[in-house]
Amino acid sequence: MKNATATRADGRDLNQLRGIRFINDIAPNATGSTLIEWGNTRVICGVTIEESVPRWMKDQKVTGGWITAEYSMLPYSTHTRKARDINKGKIDGRSQEIQRLIGRSLRAAVDLEMLGSRTIWIDCDVLQADGGTRTASITGAYVALRRALLRLIKEGKFKEMPLKDSVAAVSAGIVEGRPILDLCYTEDVAAEVDMNMVITGSGTFVEVQGSGEESTFSQGQMDAMIRLGKAGVKELVKLQAAACAE
């Protein structure tokens, strides 16, 4: 997507994604994995599968399977060292929020009944953070998950793909009064409004997180950010499909 009428500090147009690349099978012991490079943000997404379900599902007699996620920023992923959660004795609130978001997003794309009594673990580890780590984690996690499920189909554990749709995520925001797509870190910290959108390949919303940073935003600005987000996800879906086909 190009819009030559205005550019940003990094040279992108207002409606342009950063460069995105997937490097698959980065973690050989995972059932499926990919390293997503999104601008200067890099996240390893790995999927492992257990042949059992959480205790609460058994106790409540919930059928089908489950998908859960863990998210972590490695100590050297930011400019100043980020202490590991284990050294603090608990997971920080931001990491907990993001890993729950990743789990919700991927569950929206999967027919949990078709999984059978299995738990899919999605681990997202941030190697380098430059804005959009949660959107990169969700977008990369889908690729890792699809590749893992394709492997299980080849092994005869599924007769058909249990995915209902694809899912990806992208950010948009208002910076200096202008709606822009896919905020990098410098734009994120300067944004008057920041919004993250999780959208399926068919264009339906899983989640929208938007807030004014010491500011408010109008209906028109919100609509503009949503339009940018939906257009961005259309591009992401194509990139995901190419990565899954490798």
Instruction: Please compute the mean of the pLDDT values over residues 136-157 and round it to a whole number.
Output: 96
Instruction: Please compute the mean of the pLDDT values over residues 50-58 and round it to a whole number.
Output: 93
Please report whether residue 2 resides in a domain. no
Please report whether residue 239 resides in a domain. yes
Please report whether residue 7 resides in a domain. no
Instruction: Please compute the mean of the pLDDT values over residues 67-87 and round it to a whole number.
Output: 79
- The answer to whether residue 79 scores a pLDDT higher than 60 is yes
Domain that holds residue 63: 20-245
Q: What is the mean pLDDT of the chain?
A: 91
Please report whether residue 15 resides in a domain. no
- The answer to whether residue 4 scores a pLDDT higher than 80 is no
pLDDT tens, residue by residue, 217-226: 999 999 999 9
Please report whether residue 121 resides in a domain. yes
Instruction: Please compute the mean of the pLDDT values over residues 51-71 and round it to a whole number.
Output: 94
**Cα–Cα distance measured from residue 46 to residue 24, given in angstroms and rounded to the nearest whole number:** 10
State residue 3's pLDDT score: 46
Model pTM? 0.92
The total of structural domains in the chain comes to 1
CATH of residue 42's domain is 3.30.230.70
Please report whether residue 1 resides in a domain. no
Residue in the block written with tokens 């380098």: 128
Lowest mean pLDDT among 76-90, 144-158, 173-187, 213-227: 76-90
State residue 88's pLDDT score: 66
- The answer to whether residue 181 scores a pLDDT higher than 90 is yes
State residue 6's pLDDT score: 64
pLDDT band at 82 (very low <50, low <70, confident <90, very high): confident
Please report whether residue 11 resides in a domain. no
pLDDT band at 2 (very low <50, low <70, confident <90, very high): very low
State residue 90's pLDDT score: 66
Percent of the chain with pLDDT over 90: 81
Please report whether residue 5 resides in a domain. no
Which of 2 and 145 is assigned the larger pLDDT?
A: 145
Residue in the block written with tokens 């603090």: 88
- The answer to whether residue 51 scores a pLDDT higher than 50 is yes
Which distant-in-sequence residues (6+ apart) come within 8 Å of 166 by Cβ?
A: 109, 142, 146, 200, 201, 237, 240, 241
pLDDT tens, residue by residue, 18-38: 999 999 999 999 999 999 999
